[in-house]
Amino acid sequence: MDEREHRHDRTRVEELLELATGIAEEAGQMLLAKRPARPEVLATKSSPTDVVTALDRAAEELIRGRIAEVRPHDAILGEEGGDTPGEGGVRWVVDPIDGTVNFLYGLPDWAVSIGVEVDGEIVAGAVHNVPRGELFTASKGGGAWLRGERLRCNTGVPLAKALVATGFGYAAGRRRVQAEVLAQVVPQVRDIRRGGSCAVDLCSVAAGRVDAYYERGANYWDHAAAGLIAVEAGARIGGLNGRPVSPDMALCAAPGLFEELHDLLVPLDPERD
């Protein structure tokens, strides 16, 4: 690739990021304005505790509409609306509310997450932690940012001093296993944090607010944007035994700590249900 092509690609990525950022901001403000004291649960997904709200769907409709206005031929993968095919190699990966239970209860960690793929690779991402008024952004090769400051994950932290974020599934059987795994992890680390949003947890790794994160059951739209933010802040993200991040396992930390946490988790067989 010559210098002119490289500049063209960078310009394209920055334009995609700017659009993702603006839409994530608008969707977040809509959700904040319209959220009632206790939003009604519209439906359940995988289990009675896995909820969808009317505003979940309204936010995704807003996001899809804004993308279609500017880029009508792009594909969109949304948590609520599924996969809409497109043309040209660009696909938007949307989670309108990551942390729906936090949203329902009025807890401060839920986010609008928008990632952008080009030819199957995430190249831009925006995560708007709405209650905290924080907009995390990243572009491939362009760094991870919050409020104009470049983010760097914590490095040089040994496992025994690591603050580790995690999450739990909705099905009772999976939570039982996750609790068994957690009981073996807790004595080996500084402490555990359970925030309730994969996207926010990954941004917390990027910002150095926690040292590491692991979770079984995170979907692509949960980590598409935030995973890029973490990587651009210097973290490593993946699954177990060299596999990519997937619903089986998501693990994120600075490279050295990633290996230590990985080696602690593998013998515990955390991917069983």
Beta bridge partners of 82: 78
pLDDT tens string 141-183: 999 999 999 999 999 999 999 999 999 998 999 999 999 999 9
Whether the predicted pLDDT of 3 surpasses 70: no
From the list 79, 109, 117, 211, the catalytic residue is 79
pLDDT at 10: 84
Helix, strand, or coil here: 228?
Answer: helix
Tokens read off for 10 = 């960078």
Quick one: what percent of the chain has pLDDT higher than 70?
92
Is residue 97 part of the annotated active site? The answer reads yes
Is residue 98 part of the annotated active site? The answer reads yes
Is residue 222 part of the annotated active site? The answer reads yes
pLDDT at 217: 97
CB under 8 Å to 137, separation ≥6 — which residues? Answer: 17, 20, 21, 124, 125, 126, 127, 144, 145, 146, 229
* CA Rg value for the chain: 18
Whether the predicted pLDDT of 43 surpasses 80: no
Question: CA angle at residue 222 from 218 to 240, to 5 degrees?
Answer: 40
pLDDT at 51: 60
Is residue 100 part of the annotated active site? The answer reads yes
Out of 96-105, 121-130, 180-189, 190-199, which region has the weakest mean confidence (pLDDT)? Answer: 96-105
Question: Around 166, how many Cα atoms within 13 Å sit in the side-chain half-sphere?
Answer: 23
Tokens 């809509």 found at: 30
From the list 222, 232, 260, 271, the catalytic residue is 222
Confidence tier at 1 by pLDDT (50, 70, 90): low
pLDDT at 121: 97
pLDDT at 273: 85
From the list 56, 74, 80, 98, the catalytic residue is 98
Out of 22-31, 48-57, 101-110, 211-220, which region has the weakest mean confidence (pLDDT)? Answer: 48-57
Tokens read off for 72 = 């009508």
- CB atoms under 10 Å from CB of 142, counted, come to 17
pLDDT tens string 61-99: 999 999 999 999 999 999 888 999 999 999 999 999 999
Average pLDDT value for the chain: 93
Amino acid letter, residue 99: G
Out of 92-106, 176-190, 197-211, which region has the weakest mean confidence (pLDDT)? Answer: 92-106
Residue pair 115/92 in contact (Cβ under 8 Å)? The answer is: yes
pLDDT at 53: 80
pLDDT at 50: 60
pLDDT at 36: 80
Can you spell out the DSSP letters for 247-265?
TTBEEEE-HHHHHHHHHHH
Per-residue pLDDT, averaged over 232-238, amounts to 98
pLDDT at 205: 99
- CB atoms under 10 Å from CB of 226, counted, come to 35
From the list 56, 60, 74, 95, the catalytic residue is 95
From the list 56, 60, 63, 100, the catalytic residue is 100
CA 253 and chain centroid, separation: 14
Residue pair 253/211 in contact (Cβ under 8 Å)? The answer is: yes
Whether the predicted pLDDT of 236 surpasses 70: yes
